[in-house]
């Protein structure tokens, strides 16, 4: 039937600057940690991306053609502040002025992420980046510039994309991959704490400067299902969900270190230096909504070891010795990259987030990475992607109809972009990008079957 989502539901799609824009050194842009990443196995780097920087008009026309109500993208910090702080680059502001004004012309609601992995290398060089308390002031300064410049045209903001993941990936916070695990835990937890302090101050600032402004944080909760009904496994799954996910929202939404997380950090010598005034700010300035990047679940059982070990680096399939192990789940299919496809997990997340924090959700990413094949007649028959997206939308519609507040659904991704895990082999887009990792080809944009499918979903307001 018609009208299954609220009339103002934000059906949208997402991208991020470093994966999509290209033009990495044009018009005064400074280097970010993502530009300097050494990519292995012949994978594309991020220098050209999908060349959105030069083709944004064509791209936004395609967004309008699908009928997107919202478009989530990130601003490249080093286009605005090439060194990360100090000198503002007017050409950076102008680029996003053009994007935002065009979106507005087509009645597409822009949703802006302030920082999506591409941290300014300049701040790492100046003082070690997030590990220093100075990073808080510089993130706030950057956000303030954006609120003042774009605040008249942007209502929805996201602070940090996947803080829960980014702090565990050393190269994204300016640390060597070879770093000792215990030392890494200590530093990354201090970085995470600084990110939380900055988030609260940015939310406060947005509410002062942007009338009606709404700020969210974007999490990647890979919900843990218990491997069996054995009480120890059920407990291990609950501990996983706390330690790998909710601990962070407890800080950002309530200003508390949960008891289980406190113990976890202290056992590892990784409890950060904190200040009661900071926690108070977090309590006073929680986010307005919670962004959810949802791709997969994990399946969790009790650890067979009772050693306390440092966590160390890595995010996907990351076990915690002495707490939990991750196992395959015969009830959950996995993608080629081993990501468990579990639409019910999305429902579990939405229910849990609302129960815990009482905040609306915005689905900020959800999608299937696959090797799409370009057929000779310029078609891409990505029925597997349509099945994935439709399965998740069905659970989402259920949540909305029950009365859980959900602002919108921005799938990942609007167009194929350079994948973090597998370059151009792992495509998520509704629009195919004609390039390979090491050959740019013609960068042509080609509508996939999922493009037409999603247009229909939007036009019928989520009807089957
Ligand atoms: C999320 C990131 C996105 C995107 C997505 C897919 O964690 O926020 O930027 O990359 O994952 O990941 P991948 O392309 O590595 O499969």
Q: Is 20 inside any structural domain?
A: yes
Q: Is the CB of 293 under 6 A from ligand 1?
A: yes
Q: Is the CB of 419 under 6 A from ligand 1?
A: yes
Q: What is the mean pLDDT of residues 382-396?
A: 98
Predicted local confidence at residue 386, as pLDDT: 98
Q: Is the CB of 412 under 6 A from ligand 1?
A: yes
Asked if 17 and 146 touch (Cβ cutoff 8 Å), the reply is no
Tell me the whole-structure pTM to 2 decimals: 0.97
Percent of the residues in the chain that have a pLDDT greater than 70, as a whole number:
99
Q: Is 34 inside any structural domain?
A: yes
Is pLDDT at 399 greater than 80 in this prediction?
Answer: yes
Is pLDDT at 73 greater than 90 in this prediction?
Answer: yes
Q: What is the mean pLDDT of residues 293-311?
A: 95
Q: Is 392 inside any structural domain?
A: yes
Q: Is 208 inside any structural domain?
A: yes
Domain extent for 35: 10-222+283-296+338-459
Task: Convert the pLDDT of each residue in 189-207 to its tens digit.
Answer: 999 999 999 999 999 999 9
Q: How far is the CA of 196 from the centre of ligand 1 (A)?
A: 22
CA distance 363 to 392: 11
Q: How far is the CA of 168 from the centre of ligand 1 (A)?
A: 15
Q: Is 304 inside any structural domain?
A: no
Is pLDDT at 464 greater than 70 in this prediction?
Answer: no
Residues 116, 122, 126, 132, Cα dihedral to 10°: 0
367 CA closest ligand 1 atom index: 6
Task: Convert the pLDDT of each residue in 223-255 to its tens digit.
Answer: 999 999 999 999 999 999 999 999 999 999 999
Q: How far is the CA of 383 from the centre of ligand 1 (A)?
A: 21
Tell me which DSSP letter residue 273 carries.
P
- Among 334, 335, 419, 437, residue to substitute to test ligand 1 (most atoms within 8 Å of Cβ): 419
Predicted local confidence at residue 317, as pLDDT: 83
Q: Is the CB of 113 under 6 A from ligand 1?
A: no
Q: Is the CB of 421 under 6 A from ligand 1?
A: yes
25: its two tokens: 């050194």
Task: Convert the pLDDT of each residue in 39-70 to its tens digit.
Answer: 999 999 999 999 999 999 999 999 999 999 99
Under the banding of pLDDT at 50, 70 and 90, the label for residue 296 is very high
Please indicate whether residue 305 or residue 316 has the higher confidence score (pLDDT). Answer: 305
Q: Is the CB of 16 under 6 A from ligand 1?
A: yes
Is pLDDT at 316 greater than 50 in this prediction?
Answer: yes
Question: How many domains, the chain?
Answer: 1
Q: Which of 21, 109, 365, 395 is catalytic?
A: 365
Q: Is 253 inside any structural domain?
A: no
Number of C-beta neighbours around residue 397 at 10 A? 18
Task: Convert the pLDDT of each residue in 250-271 to its tens digit.
Answer: 999 999 999 999 999 999 999 9
The total number of residues written for the chain in this structure: 464
Asked if 448 and 385 touch (Cβ cutoff 8 Å), the reply is yes
CATH code of the domain containing 109: 3.20.20.80
Q: Is the CB of 174 under 6 A from ligand 1?
A: no
Predicted local confidence at residue 360, as pLDDT: 97
365 given a catalytic annotation: yes
Q: What is the mean pLDDT of residues 136-142?
A: 98
Q: Is 380 inside any structural domain?
A: yes
Predicted local confidence at residue 400, as pLDDT: 97
Q: Is 433 inside any structural domain?
A: yes
Q: Which of 162, 239, 320, 395 is catalytic?
A: 162
162 given a catalytic annotation: yes
417 CA closest ligand 1 atom index: 14
Dihedral class, residue 413 (left if φ above 0, else alpha if ψ from -120 to 50, else beta): beta
Asked if 203 and 289 touch (Cβ cutoff 8 Å), the reply is no
Predicted local confidence at residue 1, as pLDDT: 46
């Amino acid at each position: 039937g018609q009208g299954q989502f609220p009339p103002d539901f934000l059906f949208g799609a997402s991208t991020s600057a470093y994966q999509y824009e290209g033009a990495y050194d044009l018009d005064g842009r400074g280097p970010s940690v993502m530009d300097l990443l050494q990519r292995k196995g012949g994978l594309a780097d991020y220098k050209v991306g999908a060349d959105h920087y030069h083709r944004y008009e064509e791209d936004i026309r395609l967004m309008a053609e699908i009928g997107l109500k919202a478009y989530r993208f990130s601003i490249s910090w080093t286009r605005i502040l090439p060194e990360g702080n100090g000198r503002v680059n007017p050409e950076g502001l102008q680029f996003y002025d053009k994007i935002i004004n065009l979106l507005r012309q087509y009645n597409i609601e822009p949703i802006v992420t302030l920082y999506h992995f591409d941290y300014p290398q300049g701040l790492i060089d100046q003082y070690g980046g997030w590990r220093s308390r100075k990073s808080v002031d510089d993130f706030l300064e950057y956000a303030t510039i954006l609120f003042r410049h774009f605040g008249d045209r942007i209502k929805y903001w996201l602070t940090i994309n996947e803080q829960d993941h980014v702090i565990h990936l050393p190269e994204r916070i300016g640390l060597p991959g070879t770093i000792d695990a215990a030392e890494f835990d200590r530093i990354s937890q201090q970085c995470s704490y600084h990110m939380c302090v900055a988030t609260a101050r940015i939310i406060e600032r947005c509410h002062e400067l942007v009338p009606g402004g709404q700020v969210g944080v974007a999490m990647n909760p890979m919900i843990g299902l218990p491997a069996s009904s054995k009480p120890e496994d059920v407990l291990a799954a609950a501990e996983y969900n706390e330690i790998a996910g909710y601990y962070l929202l407890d800080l950002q939404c309530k200003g508390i270190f949960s008891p289980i997380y406190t113990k976890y950090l202290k056992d590892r010598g990784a409890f950060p230096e904190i200040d009661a005034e900071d926690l108070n700010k977090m309590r006073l300035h929680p986010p307005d909504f919670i962004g959810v990047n949802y791709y997969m679940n994990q399946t969790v059982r009790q650890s067979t070891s009772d050693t306390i070990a440092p966590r160390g680096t890595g995010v996907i399939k990351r076990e915690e010795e002495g707490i939990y192990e991750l196992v395959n789940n015969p009830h959950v299919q996995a993608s080629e990259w081993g990501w468990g496809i579990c639409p019910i997990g999305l429902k579990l997340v939405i229910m849990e987030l609302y129960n815990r924090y009482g905040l609306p959700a915005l689905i900020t990413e959800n999608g299937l990475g696959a090797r799409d094949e370009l057929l000779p007649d310029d078609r891409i028959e990505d029925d597997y992607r349509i099945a994935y997206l439709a399965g998740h939308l069905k659970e989402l519609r259920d949540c909305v109809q029950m009365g859980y507040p959900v602002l919108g659904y921005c799938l990942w991704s609007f167009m194929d972009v350079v994948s973090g895990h597998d370059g151009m082999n792992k495509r998520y887009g509704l629009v195919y990008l004609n390039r390979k990792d090491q050959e740019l080809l013609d960068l042509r944009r080609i509508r996939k079957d999922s493009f037409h499918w999603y247009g229909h979903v939007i036009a019928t307001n989520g009807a089957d």
